[in-house]
Structure 1
Amino acid sequence: MSELARRLTTTDAVVIGLGSMLGAGIFVAFAPAAAEAGGRGLLIALVLAGFVAFCNANSSARLAALYPESGGTYVYGRERLGDFAGFIAGWGFVAGKTASCAAMALTIGAYLWPAHARPIAVAAVVVLTAINLGGIQKTARATRWLVTVTLAVLGTVAVVGAAAGHPTAARIWDADDAGARGILTAAGLLFFAFAGYARIATLGEEVRDPERTIPRAVPLALSLVLAIYLVLAVVTLGVLGPERLASSPAPLADVVSAAGAPGLAWVVRIGAAVAVTGVLLALVAGVGRTTLAMARRRDLPGALAAVHPTRQVPHRAELAVAAVVIVLVSLGDIRDAIGFSSCTVLVYYAITNASALTLRGLRVVPALGLVGCVVLAVTLPLSSVLAGFAVLLAGAAWFRFRPQR
């Protein structure tokens, strides 16, 4: 069996985690979450989503250190709970994250050239797949540059918005009560923005000294992203208010425009495209690795298990993922993809926490993570819940009736 090379350091792993998360929340998920929860509810939902993500990260890090190979919870579920649990985790991850790839690609097109969003999205998928096929070190190097540009743009928005946007506490702490249901729905949508830390675990076979690197990299990347999101949420709400944020297709561009710097709007748009490009780059790599792990065990076609002899990447799996994403780009809708992806990925992390409950040691954190995942999954918009569970049922049927391996 071909093995992947261990080339990633702790810094590389943290950078890939940041690249997977930064941008997705503020550029994609904040607006629909604000529509569900309002101002005060958005901040509460953000903290709740971050807490559930922390529980999941803790469970993921413990399991990844024990099973440092590609596949993430697909591997953990098989090892700790049985083949079916692992298969459902892998199936849900591949389906949900492939939809996320399409949503991210469409976001790039919408920001760079709205009138031709789909062709731009297809071009982005092709270019980023080519980068990933060049080797995992090239992925980490490219992600480092993308994260640097993203942080610079987000920092500019925060400073300009806070200094010249006249943020007010009334807008930030909106008195309208969205109710528990609205906050939970918003938290489920915002979870989409935190799920990128899983990319560190799914790349476990390529991390140096995984027993030490992964438990350090996962919580560090997650903590940095949560702090950045909270700052930007406060500034954005303070300048725009929840109603304007909920209806805005480009909230950060609106922040700098409202702050009297409309000339920065295009800078922000380009920064948004760069941020989402970083997310998509790491997403394609992560989905390819999980596809590789499933193909190795014949839960997906065995031809996808090939590893390139020179570049040490799962080239067939990544090409297959890219092909499916290109098809979805021609049919998909960004907001529907967010809800669908959140539903299937929350199920994925529910299995992560259930797997961690079988380990020795403190079990309170994985228990809270398991309950949190289930609650957020079932309180997502009904269409997202139905679509997500329909795909999971289809996967269960395939598992039951697939040809003998």
Structure 2
Amino acid sequence: MAELKKTLGLPSLIALGVAGVVGSSWIYTSSQFFADVGAGGMIIGLLVGAALAACVALAYGELTSAVPRAGGEIVWGYTALGRTAGFATGWFHIGAYISSLAFYITAFGTLLGKYVPAMADIPLYSVGGEAVTLPVLAVGIALAILVFALNWFGVSLGAQLQVGLFAVMIAIGTVLVVVAAVHGTPSNLFPLWTADQQPFLSVVRMVVPGITYVVGFSLVAVLAEESSLPAAKVGRAVVLTVACAAAFYTAVLLATAYVVPWEDVAKMKLGTIDAFTQAGFPLLGLGAFLIGALGLVTSFIGLFVASSRVVLALARARLLPHGLSVVEEKSGVPRRALVFVFAITVVLGLLGPGAIVWFLDAGGVFLGIVWLLVVIAKYRMPKRFPGLEYAYRARPQWLPAVGALGALAVIVCTVFPIPGVDIALKWPQEYIILAAWVLLGVVFFAFSPRPKDREAVFREVTGPLADTFEAARKKPRG
């Protein structure tokens, strides 16, 4: 069976990992976060969340360097923990990725509506209290078609566009930071909280959103099979992605709170966009808007290609219909998986933001489960395959466990309401979605046919690494 082509270099991996989750909402919702948790709560909470994510990323980097196979987490869960864990990892991963993609169907037009009033014309229907208009839907579906077309002939074309768009975002962000440093004052930033805001609780409330801001490192692991880099560099790229994403967010948010008093920003509607406009730099306000718009496009590109590889990995393991594992011989593209992801994205996207936001919130729990399983697989893998070689190792080895505890805390705080920590799921819609996705997964897994030739499936899941796994299994520890 054909394999994916190795066409991604370091710039492509970093651009897909960082820009693949930058998104747009943080640019204009920074005003609401400043109002709720203060500049200190948003920025410090984001950094704490990034630190926890980095601990998990160490496990990802280590496993990626040893097993650079499409679908990353599914392959690790399958090989280290068994078929059930492999399915759970992939199932929750799809839930998180697809919900984000579906949200972007209407998010792009909604963002444009902040500058183009016509986006609000011709309402078609309303779901969850949010109207879905024809222009918004048309723009979103056009974006989905464009991204689908970019990936039809190979990941490299979309990756090249991703690198270019990411470079533009970095350039704009750099200008924002420089202008803020020259024209802003420390008094705009300090104190970091108002008198009625509680520093500790505000930081805690921002940790979960902060984690979600830097989850792009998982995209690098999912796409590792298509990397042309040595295994050690791919492992380092996973961890580097977290650092790059955290640095970008922090720099732009600090610039936002420094160029004008952050307490004034908290009263605005469009966060960074309004902050620079009010500071006397309307072109930079437009630049901030472009970061949001481009971030939405790059997120769609990154998550779309990654979702297709997750589907591919599950199909290789016979946990989805095996036909979805077909890779075209000439192009090296899993086109059936691309069609599958495109169809689900558009269908769910038709629900509009009022309903999809419920899926997004539940997606935080899904990611927490995936991270927890990956860290467990990281510690289990050497016991099952003692001879497996790692080109990159987490140092110290206990740090990924800290990330796992953070992932567990995310799950607990999101599912069970905790006084003072306002991050729990909304009752009853989001709890229904969470329960329904879990139940659907249980039913799907229970009725999925068990393969008769498990060794053949194992070899397809691991691909060219099958012999390496076999030798690693037999080699004694020590």
Out of 117, 132, 137, the position equivalent to 1:118 is: 137
Out of 348, 364, 371, the position equivalent to 1:349 is: 371
Cα deviation, 1:129-173, whole Å, max 9, x if unaligned, reads: 111112111122111111011112222333344444556133644
Shift of 1:315: 1.0
Shift of 1:174: 3.8
Instruction: Work out the CA distance in 2 between the residues paired with 1:82 and 1:207.
Output: 26
Out of 305, 316, 319, the position equivalent to 1:299 is: 319
Inter-CA distance 289–16: structure 2 relative to 1 (3 Å threshold): same
AA in 2 matched with 1:94 = I
Name the structure 2 match of 1:383: 425
Report which stretch shifted further, 338-347 or 31-40.
31-40
1:180-191 to 2 correspondences below 5 Å: 183-191=203-211
Pair 1:311-2:345 in alignment = no
Pair 1:18-2:18 in alignment = yes
Q: Is the 8 A contact 1:29 1:190 kept in 2?
A: no
Instruction: Work out the CA distance in 2 between the residues paired with 1:132 and 1:234.
Output: 35
Shift of 1:267: 3.9
Shift of 1:232: 1.6
Inter-CA distance 119–164: structure 2 relative to 1 (3 Å threshold): farther
SS in 1 for 2:197: coil
Out of 396, 400, 404, the position equivalent to 2:446 is: 400
Report which stretch shifted further, 84-93 or 372-381.
372-381
Shift of 1:35: 5.9
AA in 2 matched with 1:146 = L
Instruction: Work out the CA distance in 2 between the residues paired with 1:199 and 1:208.
Output: 15
Name the structure 1 match of 2:275: 255
Root-mean-square deviation (CA, aligned residues, Å) is 2.6
Report which stretch shifted further, 303-312 or 206-215.
206-215
Instruction: Work out the CA distance in 1 between the residues paired with 2:251 and 2:328.
Output: 42
Inter-CA distance 175–260: structure 2 relative to 1 (3 Å threshold): same
Name the structure 2 match of 1:68: 68
AA in 1 matched with 2:425 = S
Cα deviation, 1:13-37, whole Å, max 9, x if unaligned, reads: 2222222133457337746655653
Cα deviation, 1:232-280, whole Å, max 9, x if unaligned, reads: 22222343636844873x3221122121123444443233211211111
Instruction: Work out the CA distance in 2 between the residues paired with 1:12 and 1:26.
Output: 23
Pair 1:370-2:390 in alignment = no
SS in 2 for 1:379: helix
Q: Is the 8 A contact 1:93 1:345 kept in 2?
A: yes
1:187-226 to 2 correspondences below 5 Å: 187-226=207-246
TM-score by length of 1: 0.90
Inter-CA distance 84–179: structure 2 relative to 1 (3 Å threshold): farther
Name the structure 2 match of 1:54: 54
Cα deviation, 1:338-384, whole Å, max 9, x if unaligned, reads: 42222211211111111112255853112101100110222233326
Report which stretch shifted further, 145-154 or 107-116.
107-116
Inter-CA distance 329–214: structure 2 relative to 1 (3 Å threshold): same
Q: Is the 8 A contact 1:357 1:367 kept in 2?
A: no
Instruction: Work out the CA distance in 2 between the residues paired with 1:123 and 1:165.
Output: 40
Instruction: Work out the CA distance in 2 between the residues paired with 1:150 and 1:108.
Output: 17
Cα deviation, 1:37-94, whole Å, max 9, x if unaligned, reads: 3332212211111011101111001111111111111111111112111211100111
Instruction: Work out the CA distance in 2 between the residues paired with 1:347 and 1:243.
Output: 38
Cα deviation, 1:287-323, whole Å, max 9, x if unaligned, reads: 0001011011221122211212222111111111111
Q: Is the 8 A contact 1:46 1:187 kept in 2?
A: yes
Pair 1:290-2:310 in alignment = yes
Instruction: Work out the CA distance in 2 between the residues paired with 1:35 and 1:392.
Output: 35
Pair 1:170-2:212 in alignment = no
AA in 1 matched with 2:12 = D
Instruction: Work out the CA distance in 1 between the residues paired with 2:305 and 2:257.
Output: 33
Q: Is the 8 A contact 2:52 2:403 kept in 1?
A: yes
Q: Is the 8 A contact 1:63 1:76 kept in 2?
A: yes
Name the structure 1 match of 2:127: none
Which structure shows the higher helix fraction? 1
SS in 1 for 2:19: helix
Name the structure 2 match of 1:339: 361
Inter-CA distance 170–181: structure 2 relative to 1 (3 Å threshold): closer
AA in 2 matched with 1:305 = S
AA in 1 matched with 2:412 = V
Shift of 1:208: 2.1
Name the structure 2 match of 1:38: 38
Structure ID, larger Rg: 2
Q: Is the 8 A contact 1:357 1:366 kept in 2?
A: no
Task: Give structure 1 stretches of 5+ with no counterpart.
Answer: none
Inter-CA distance 392–288: structure 2 relative to 1 (3 Å threshold): same
Instruction: Work out the CA distance in 2 between the residues paired with 1:211 and 1:252.
Output: 39
Out of 324, 327, 337, the position equivalent to 2:347 is: 327
Inter-CA distance 57–20: structure 2 relative to 1 (3 Å threshold): same
Inter-CA distance 271–233: structure 2 relative to 1 (3 Å threshold): closer
Q: Is the 8 A contact 1:256 1:265 kept in 2?
A: yes
Name the structure 1 match of 2:170: 151
Report which stretch shifted further, 26-35 or 287-296.
26-35
Q: Is the 8 A contact 1:164 1:260 kept in 2?
A: no
SS in 1 for 2:215: helix
Q: How many residues align?
A: 404
Task: Give structure 2 stretches of 5+ with no counterpart.
Answer: 114-118, 121-134, 383-393, 415-422, 452-478
TM-score by length of 2: 0.77
Name the structure 2 match of 1:94: 94
Out of 289, 296, 310, the position equivalent to 1:269 is: 289
Instruction: Work out the CA distance in 1 between the residues paired with 2:140 and 2:198.
Output: 35
SS in 1 for 2:253: helix
Instruction: Work out the CA distance in 2 between the residues paired with 1:39 and 1:92.
Output: 32
Instruction: Work out the CA distance in 2 between the residues paired with 1:246 and 1:304.
Output: 49
Instruction: Work out the CA distance in 1 between the residues paired with 2:379 and 2:263.
Output: 39
AA in 2 matched with 1:352 = V
